[in-house]
Amino acid sequence: MSEKPELSAALKLEIVDQLSREDLVKIVLTQQKLIEKLQQELENLKERQPSNSKTSSKPPSSDLIQKSETAKVDNSKESESEAKRKPGGQPGHIGKTRKGFWASR
């Protein structure tokens, strides 16, 4: 029953036409058993996979509280870098100003 993968579709059809009805029934039954086995394996894999809002259409509120997979960034580092910067024009920036209202008269 194992055919070479390089056989053309026409050649495969010729081989199938030459098989007896009993051989074809055996092939179909073997394929049916394989399909059932694969369906069972698929169901087992689905049961093993945890289902949460990221892997299904469930809402996030239904998730159990868990630690996130990635480490959270420490917010104190961000606030330190922001505290060093003063508001307004930064050193080295070339400023541009408009002419005053009274200066244009």
Q: What letter represents residue 74's amino acid?
A: D
Q: Which two tokens stand for residue 56?
A: 């299904």
Q: What is the pLDDT of residues 51-73, one digit of tens each?
A: 777 877 888 887 777 666 665 65
Confidence class for position 33, pLDDT limits 50, 70, 90: very high
Residues 52, 58 contacting (CB under 8 angstroms) = yes
CB 92 within 8 A of CB 86: no
Which pair of structure tokens corresponds to residue 25? 């029934």
Give me the helices (H) in the chain, please: 9-18, 21-48, 75-84
Confidence class of residue 43 from pLDDT cuts 50, 70 and 90? very high
Domain edges within the chain: 20-50
pTM greater than 0.85 (yes/no) = no
- As a whole-number percent, the residues of the chain with pLDDT over 70 amount to 73
C-alpha 52/C-alpha 66 separation (Å) is 11
- Cα first-last separation, the chain: 99
